[in-house]
Structure 1
Amino acid sequence: MDYPYHSRKTTLLSLANELLLLLRDNLEPDDLLAHACYYLLHPRTRACYAAYDNDPRFWTSLLFESGLAASCCEADPSGVVWRRMAIECAEHAWECKHSACGIQRLEENRARLQRARELRDPELWDGCSPLDTTDADKVAIRIQQNPLFEWIDFNSAFPPVHLPDRMRSILIGACAFLRETLDDNSGWLPTDLIGLHPVACRSFATFPPINILAIREDLLNRGKDLIVTNIHGATVLDALTALSTILEVEMDADDIDALVDFEIWPEYEYNDWESDSEPGPFPWGWPLKHAAWTARRVGNLFQLAQWTGFNFDIVTDEVIAFVDFKSKPLPESAWSHTVEYTYPKTEFAAANALDGFQDL
């Protein structure tokens, strides 16, 4: 007996529940995007993941394999919350076209995690959980920062003292995600709010991921460490949150004087404005005294110099992240206005402008 064609047609959603579960189990166990796609496909496929609502290990593992974790402020033992994070990250990855976020970030995170596993000593790190940096035997493992830190800038309510209003950018009170083109009209690199990029925010700050990130910068925090603790692995957002707590710190003459001893600040104290030397962290290789006058707060320092992330070193059996800077390109329109204030026309004006820094 012949049957109409439509009665013989079988669709995915007409399969028995057991077959839908079998399809789920045949997806790559570390493929976040594949599982998120299957989860969102239909209420019946979504039901295949109900068993994990009370067990966060499935979703935390998917996130980990993509170089992601919950930040300190959003960690929760509930499996439902972890599932929500995983789905949110997958949906954002499909939509985001930023060069340092989206699917590109997931792929690079996975590649760097795999590279860290290939270089590991199995006795020191299992490769499936954050590295415990409190164990002195484990600090010998090479730790590298996530390269997306070079795309992030503090662009908050701490404008340089003498730059005009139009160059103070948007007061976002947090962090900005840099775009690739320099816009002279706005005065800064065009930016997005980094909080709109959950993939970037939840990416591990380091590879291999570590459970304790100690950030040290003698200039910025009087030699004290900013400690980030996240049992799931310190994230980019964790590091940014820690650094944001010191943006309002006023820098005095002693702070600026400490720069002289830093290798990243070579002989700029007495350089002329027109120096042909390699630029330092401040624009155009400013002498320290003039940079000090313009960057009066830590927030100003992050704006005038380009923060590039961290360099890692071992200090008394601890992994320490040292803040790193390089010269930041500023638009040509900043030149004359900044020169007018950092190079006052009279000696009397110069003495007043640089009060407190003249002995540097």
Structure 2
Amino acid sequence: MEKLWSKTKIGNLELSNRLAMAPMTRSRAQEDGTPGELTPLYYAQRASMGLIITEGTQPSDDGQGYLRSPGIYTEKHIEGWRKVTDEVHEAGGFLFIQLMHVGRISHPDNTPHHRQAVAPSAIAPGEPIFTAKGMLDIPVPRELSEEDIQTTIVDFRKAAAAAIAAGADGVEIHGANGYLINQFISENSNKRMDEYGGSVENRARFAIEVTKAIVEEIGADRTGFRISPGTPLNGIDEGEQGPAVYLYLVKELAKYNLAYLHVMHLGNETLLREIRSNWPQPLLVNRAGRSLEDIGIDIDSGLADMAPVGVWSLANPDLVERLKEGFPLNEADRATLYSGNGSEGYTDYPTMKELMSQKE
């Protein structure tokens, strides 16, 4: 695990260690999408992580899927995120805002404009979503026109600029977990017959065009990209073309010299090694089902450059210190992962030092 504590670079940033806080939806933003009052403290508490990647943050009204998720497309959003980035930087950390357009994984009750969700094709995921009225079936989305697609790309570009204006060190494009970009990649959610559907190249086109726009806007050194090959999340079935789309996409994205590629790894070892061989920039691998003892295994083997962690960092604001000392971890309160009252399950997890002082 020693390599985990060595320095590394992401873009132009020199990180103190190779642990990254993975993006995790917390549903604690204000109703207008501005980060909540405790959000600056939440992220600043975890600033000892080499890199913080924030919760999914919508680039537009159409991009919202969940209640109380944050946005980054209005002046109030920028002001709210500026408080977050200021506190993280003051604590010595670095932060990328994840840009997440959910596509069809939405409900009109959850969005500011209460309109039908948008997607590559008018195909519902066949799954429910939590709303203020409880769990409801996700309705059939509206198929994006080619003009809509260009507007959505502009929304991503503007959101990236807003993130930098808010003081973020960069953005991560969310191309994983069954959301909009992943919906373009997947066979069962994309039945288009135009240049955005059908072939391997066409299924990757939207992801590449979003990336190109953001790189033009804020620079490659401030741009990361996340994928989840083989994901079944949110009703996704990538089909037989899936691995080929990812290999093509990775090769194309590598041409932009991005800050990093973030892989949610679900078990296809051959594909992961092919991705590594075709990706010359830093690679973040979040290995599903990994044990705490194996947290640095991909770094040690040279397969990854950083190890993103989710729930462990959520429940342990001082995860870096605990791992270095071999101190037991807090257990996450599952009941407050996506909601809570004030600090409960959000900013009230005790640190190692606080626990030790209680015993004295």
Q: TM-score range by the shorter chain?
A: under 0.3
**Which of the two has higher C-alpha Rg?**
1
TM-score, normalising length: structure 2 = 0.22
* Higher percent of residues as helix: 1
TM-score by length of 1: 0.22
